[in-house]
Amino acid sequence: MQCFRMNDKVKNFLPQNSSKPSKKIFCPAAARPIVHFFQKTKLFCARRYFFQEICLNLQIFFFKIQVSMSDVTYKDLTFEPYITRQQIAERVRQLGAQLTDEYRGKAPVFVCVLNGAYIFAADLFREIALPDAEIYFVRLKSYVGTSSTGKVKEVLGLNVDIHDRHVVIVEDIVDTGQTATAILQMMKDNGAATAHMATLLYKTNDIHDKHRPKYIGFSIPPKFVVGYGLDVDEKFRNLPEIYILKEK
């Protein structure tokens, strides 16, 4: 009896009119010790199919890293890789587990700050194992290019009653603290029982207020970053990793 079945990734690499994979397949050097170990120990049935699937998945993985984790440019700005998608996913999972534990039985309201936090908020909310959790959206803006304007403009307000509710504000980055101050004040004015901030990124040396986020994904230096929802003039939001401005 097979211990597993061949998945679609392996089937897609099969020659036409063939029901078995080819015996010859490229195996990345990093995977060879693993493959040799399983070959010697014989821990799996149908080992050949298993090894080929490992090799194919590793090829896809290394190819994605090679393609996506290279410098990106916009006008005269160059950004270099800083935080990988794997690191982001793991940290989001950890934050989700923490929030789940701390807000169990409290029916929390998550408030996502558009536009930058929408990707982080979506990934984080999927990690919240609370059926009574809700999510809503507000839009504030304080950036033009790579510099903060110092003014926060509300474009889309909060259209739900949060009186006596437990609110978690979801931000992409806390930089000057202007947005954090405005959002926390908004929650207070609307009668929230508690209000805390969860931010993906926290610039440790560029905070102008006393509102340190309770939930922080990564602490970073005071440099401009893009990717995973963060932008420069609305560009690069769709990058799956985070890039930091490169020194000239």
- CATH number of the domain enclosing 119: 3.40.50.2020
Which value, in Å, is the radius of gyration of the alpha carbons in the chain? 23
191 within a domain of the structure (yes/no) = yes
One DSSP character per residue, 151-220 reads: EEEEEE---S--TT-EEEEEEEEESSSHHHHHHHHHHHHTT-SEEEEEEEEEETT---SS---SEEEEEE
The 10s digit of each residue's pLDDT in 127-184 is 999 999 999 988 775 555 555 555 555 546 778 899 999 999 999 999 877 778 778 8
Residue 20 DSSP code? S
> Do 46 and 104 fall into the same domain?
no
Give the amino acid at 219: S
The pLDDT of residue 177 is 76
Could you tell me which residue, 177 or 41, shows the higher pLDDT?
Answer: 177
d(CA 220, CA 43): 43
pLDDT of residue 55: 53
Q: Are residues 60 and 129 in the same domain?
A: no
Mean pLDDT, rounded, for 20-44 = 49
- Per-residue pLDDT, 24: 43
Answer whether residue 46 shows pLDDT above 50.
Answer: no
Question: Which of the listed residues 24, 50, 67 is the one where a domain comes to its end?
Answer: 67
Q: Are residues 84 and 62 in the same domain?
A: no
pLDDT higher than 80, residue 31? no
- Count of CB atoms within 10 A of residue 150's CB? 9
Q: Are residues 202 and 218 located together in one domain of the fold?
A: yes
Q: Which of 239, 174, 237, 170 is nearest to 209 (CA)?
A: 174
- Asked if residue 114 and residue 53 are part of one domain, the reply reads no
For residue 89, pLDDT over 60 is answered with yes
Question: Pick the catalytic residue: 71, 175, 189, 231?
Answer: 175
Query: Whole-angstrom Cα distance, residue 135 to residue 168?
Result: 9
Q: Are the C-beta atoms of residues 198 and 218 closer than 8 Å to each other?
A: no
Higher-pLDDT residue of 24, 100: 100
Q: How far apart are CA 248 and CA 117, in angstroms?
A: 28
Instruction: Over range 14-42, report the average pLDDT.
Output: 48
Are 169 and 230 in a shared domain? yes
Q: Which residue has the higher pLDDT, 189 or 145?
A: 189
**20 domain residue, yes or no:** yes
- Separation in Å, CA 198 to CA 88, 173, 214, 242, 245: 14, 9, 6, 17, 23
38 with 86, same domain: the answer is: no
**Within this chain, do residues 15 and 87 fall inside the same structural domain, yes or no?**
no
Give the domain extent around 57: 8-67
Q: Are residues 17 and 87 in the same domain?
A: no
Identify the domain boundary among 16, 44, 67.
67
Consecutive H or E run containing 91: helix 85-102
Is the same domain home to 59 and 86? Answer: no
Quote the pLDDT of residue 110: 96
**Token pair 């979801």 is at which residue?**
170
Among 36, 67, 98, identify where a domain stops: 67
Count of domains observed in the chain: 2
Q: Secondary structure of the chain: what % helix, strand, coil (to 5)?
A: 30, 30, 40
The pLDDT, as a whole number, for residue 148 is 55
pLDDT for res 26: 46
The single-letter DSSP state of residue 22 is -
* Residue 2 placed within a domain: no
Q: Which residue has the higher pLDDT, 49 or 112?
A: 112
User: How many percent of the chain have pLDDT more than 70?
Assistant: 63
pLDDT at residue 207, rounded to an integer: 55
Residue 1, in any domain of the structure: no
175 a catalytic residue: yes
148 shares its domain with 240? yes
Rounded average pLDDT over 219-242? 94
Instruction: Name 169's bridge partners.
Output: 111, 197
Q: Is residue 3 domain-resident? A: no
Same domain, 59 and 81: no
The average confidence (pLDDT) of the chain is: 76
Other CB atoms closer than 10 Å to residue 225's CB: what's the count?
Answer: 26
Q: Report pTM.
A: 0.68
